[in-house]
Structure 1
Amino acid sequence: MNIIIVTAIVSLLIAAIFLAALIWSIKDGQFEDEYAPPNRILFDDKNASKNK
């Protein structure tokens, strides 16, 4: 029974670390790139044709 409690505590600790990393990355501006994703699809074909 003790192993279930230890496993639950460890999994909650890992989840809290990932949540803190997510919040930190959002506050740091990791997901604020509004220009590149819509335009990236337009420029991928040019790079692929140069490699051939």
Structure 2
Amino acid sequence: RVAVVGSGPAGLTVAQDLKLQGHDVTIFEALPVAGGMMRVGIPAYRLPYDLLQREV
């Protein structure tokens, strides 16, 4: 079992890679949404939220 802290790009990538290798992965996120700073630190006019919703 593996715990990943944070659901930013790095956390989501490592979680996916570990899951593909057969590990049981749990992601812990302090914010109510996944995506890390892409979601909360970049304004919507730079990175549309609907794009993030589809990808994350």
Q: TM-score, normalised by structure 2?
A: 0.27
Which is richer in strand? Answer: 2
TM-score by length of 1: 0.29
| Structure with bigger gyration radius | 1
User: Relative contact order: is structure 1 or structure 2 higher (C-alpha 8 Å, sep ≥ 6)?
Assistant: 2
